[in-house]
């Protein structure tokens, strides 16, 4: 495949029919991260925010921003099953809405009966607003329970979309959505797995854990859920029920702005580091605010976590741009 000097490696690969993983295409989300086996790349606007210096030094590149500086051999992450799901634009109705915490709503979306909306555990959808604006929300339901799609929406103070949603009282509103999107996808495996959720980052983790637990998994699972106060761990009672029923699952809630006997204190990634001296055997799935994801990427690999086994979704809020193809 040849790559014009002014084209990104990702765009050239997509144009050549290679379905490489990507999401934001702006150098933030890390979905397009790949390892350079030979050759080098450069970034006209400097190293993208989604690529840590240590990752670059270890030979990783973000293909959505990278320009080839000569012949390249690239080892890209292969997401077998993502290519099986079709991205659709669909109307849907808010069938039910329920407060989960003072600033979090559960929405249940009903899709047209004729539509077969297939997705993978961990993926998200975009709510389409006027003028090409989009708002991303992870799907909290697992693929095997998709008659309605569950979302957990946190109210962003001053937020256009979430503010409007919290101001409405009744269910029944119509939305247009596009999805499923994203490469943050759970794959069952024999190795142990750690899930790290920050706030509503619990939504995709819930989809993954329900998929693993209800479909039956043989792996050991750890869930660390970080939030400010106990009320922000809004489905902790459900998590504790899971732990009762599934001995392979261990759970720790972590509070950053409160302290009590039932939870750890501090930042959630610090608790993970305290509990696991060696992360070499683990897969890690992390979702939540960008600062949490950055802290995880900056610290967990130093404990032996293999970079390819760190799967994450950063709840970045991109500027209002229409998603590029
Ligand atoms: C892949 C992905 C999955 C996501 N999944 C979820 C999810 O499951 N649940 C969920 O609650 N959120 C999720 N988010 C975040 C969510 O998309 C944003 O919070 C939402 O788009 C805000 O829309 P808004 O119109 O209300 O705010 P805007 O009008 O876009 O923003 C208003 C102001 O708030 C700031 N802002 C916007 N979003 C945030 C934020 N998240 N945190 C802090 N400040 C912000 C903006 O910079 C702006 O200054 C996800 C984001 C991504 C990228
Ligand atoms: S697609 Fe390249 S960083 Fe998001």
- Kindly report, residue by residue over 249-290, the tens digit of the pLDDT: 999 999 999 999 999 999 999 999 999 999 999 999 999 999
Q: Is the CB of 153 under 6 A from ligand 1?
A: yes
- Look at residues 139, 148, 102, 97 and name the one whose alpha carbon lies nearest to residue 120: 139
Ligand 2 atom with least separation from CA of 28: 3
- Reading across the β-sheet that carries 264-265, which strands appear in turn? 264-265, 249-255, 221-227, 193-198, 283-288, 310-314
d(CA 197, CA 204): 9
Q: Is the CB of 123 under 6 A from ligand 1?
A: no
Fold of 193-314: Rossmann fold (3.40.50)
Q: Say which residue the tokens 């993978």 belong to.
A: 120
Instruction: Tell me the best of 315, 316, 323 to mutate to test the pocket of ligand 1, counting ligand atoms within 8 Å of each CB and taking the most.
Output: 315
Asked, as a colleague might, if the bond just before 180 is cis with ω within 30 of 0, I would say: yes
Fold of 9-78: Ubiquitin-like (UB roll) (3.10.20)
In this structure, the residues whose C-beta lies within 6 A of any atom of ligand 2 are 22-25, 27-32, 50, 62, 64
Q: How many residues does the chain have?
A: 325
User: How far is ligand 1, taken at its centre, from the CA of residue 161, in Å?
Assistant: 9
189 by DSSP, 3-state: which? coil
Q: What is the pLDDT of residues 201-245, one digit of tens each?
A: 999 999 999 999 999 999 999 999 999 999 999 999 999 999 999
pTM: 0.86
- Reading across the β-sheet that carries 73-76, which strands appear in turn? 60-62, 33-38, 73-76
d(CA 113, CA 92): 10
Q: Tell me what pLDDT residue 214 has.
A: 96
Q: Is the CB of 129 under 6 A from ligand 1?
A: no
DSSP class per residue in 261-303: TTSEES-HHHHHHHH-S--TT-EEEEEE-HHHHHHHHHHGGGG
Indicate which residue's Cα is closest to atom 42 of ligand 1: 156
Indicate which residue's Cα is closest to atom 4 of ligand 1: 137
Q: Is the CB of 97 under 6 A from ligand 1?
A: no
Q: How many CB atoms lie within 10 A of CB 269?
A: 24
- Look at residues 208, 213, 205 and name the one whose alpha carbon lies nearest to residue 234: 205
First to last CA, the chain: 20
Q: How confident is the model at residue 324 (pLDDT cuts 50, 70, 90)?
A: very low
Q: Say which residue the tokens 């012949």 belong to.
A: 71
d(CA 162, CA 176): 15
Largest separation between any pair of C-alpha atoms in the chain: 59
Q: Is the CB of 316 under 6 A from ligand 1?
A: yes
- The architecture (CATH level 2) of 84-181 comes to Beta Barrel (2.40)
Asked whether this chain's domains 9-78 and 193-314 adopt the same fold, the reply is no
Indicate which residue's Cα is closest to atom 5 of ligand 1: 137
Q: Is the CB of 152 under 6 A from ligand 1?
A: yes
Beta bridge partners of 151: 107
Cβ neighbours for 24, distance < 8 A, ≥ 6 positions apart? 31, 50, 64, 316, 318
d(CA 83, CA 182): 11
Contact 147, 116 (CB under 8 A): no
Contact 71, 38 (CB under 8 A): yes
Torsion of CA 293, 297, 301, 302, to 10 degrees: -110
Q: Say which residue the tokens 């794959």 belong to.
A: 187
Q: What is the mean pLDDT of residues 88-101?
A: 94
Which of 16-20, 146-150, 174-178, 304-308 is predicted with the least confidence, judged by mean pLDDT? 16-20
Ligand nearest to the CA of 8: 2
Q: Is the CB of 319 under 6 A from ligand 1?
A: no
Ligand 2 atom with least separation from CA of 24: 4
User: How far is ligand 1, taken at its centre, from the CA of residue 155, in Å?
Assistant: 8
Ligand nearest to the CA of 20: 2
Phi, psi dihedral angles at 292 (to 5 degrees): -65, -45
Average pLDDT of the residues of the chain: 90
User: How far is ligand 2, taken at its centre, from the CA of residue 322, in Å?
Assistant: 15
Which of 78-87, 117-126, 202-211 is predicted with the least confidence, judged by mean pLDDT? 78-87
Beta bridge partners of 58: none
Say whether pLDDT at 295 is over 90: yes
Beta bridge partners of 178: 89, 126
**What's the sign of the alpha-carbon dihedral 179, 86, 7, 314?**
positive
Ordered by start, the domain boundaries in the chain are: 9-78, 84-181, 193-314
- Look at residues 246, 296, 291, 260 and name the one whose alpha carbon lies nearest to residue 276: 296
Q: Is the CB of 115 under 6 A from ligand 1?
A: no
User: How far is ligand 1, taken at its centre, from the CA of residue 88, in Å?
Assistant: 22
């Amino acid at each position: 495949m040849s790559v014009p000097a002014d084209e990104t490696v990702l765009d050239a690969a997509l144009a050549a029919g290679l379905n490489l993983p990507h999401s934001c295409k702006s150098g933030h989300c890390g979905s397009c991260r790949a390892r350079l086996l030979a050759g080098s790349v450069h970034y006209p606007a400097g190293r993208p925010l989604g690529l840590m210096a240590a990752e670059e030094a270890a030979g990783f590149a973000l293909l959505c921003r990278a320009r080839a500086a000569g012949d390249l051999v690239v080892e890209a992450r292969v997401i077998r099953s993502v290519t099986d799901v079709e991205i659709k634009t669909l109307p849907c109705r808010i069938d039910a809405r329920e407060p989960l915490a003072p600033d979090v709503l559960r929405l249940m979306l009903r899709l047209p009966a004729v539509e077969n909306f297939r997705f993978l555990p961990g993926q998200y959808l975009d709510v389409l607003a006027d003028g090409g604006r989009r708002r991303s929300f992870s799907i909290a339901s697992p693929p095997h329970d998709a008659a309605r799609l569950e979302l957990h929406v946190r109210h962003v103070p001053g937020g256009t979309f979430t503010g409007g949603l919290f101001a409405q009282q009744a269910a029944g509103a119509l939305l247009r959505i596009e999805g499923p999107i994203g490469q943050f996808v759970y794959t069952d495996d024999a190795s142990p797995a750690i899930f790290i959720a920050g706030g509503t980052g619990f939504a995709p983790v819930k989809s993954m854990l329900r998929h693993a637990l209800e479909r039956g998994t043989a792996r050991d699972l750890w869930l660390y859920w970080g939030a400010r106060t106990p009320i922000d761990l809004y489905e902790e009672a459900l998590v504790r029920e899971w732990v009762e029923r599934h001995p392979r699952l261990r759970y720790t809630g972590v509070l950053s702005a409160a302290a009590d006997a039932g939870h750890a204190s501090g930042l959630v990634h610090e608790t993970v580091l305290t509990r696991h001296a060696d992360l070499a055997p683990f897969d890690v799935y992390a979702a939540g605010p960008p600062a949490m994801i950055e802290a995880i990427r900056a610290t967990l690999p130093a404990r032996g976590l293999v970079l390819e086994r760190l799967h994450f979704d950063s709840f970045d809020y991109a500027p209002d741009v229409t998603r590029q193809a």
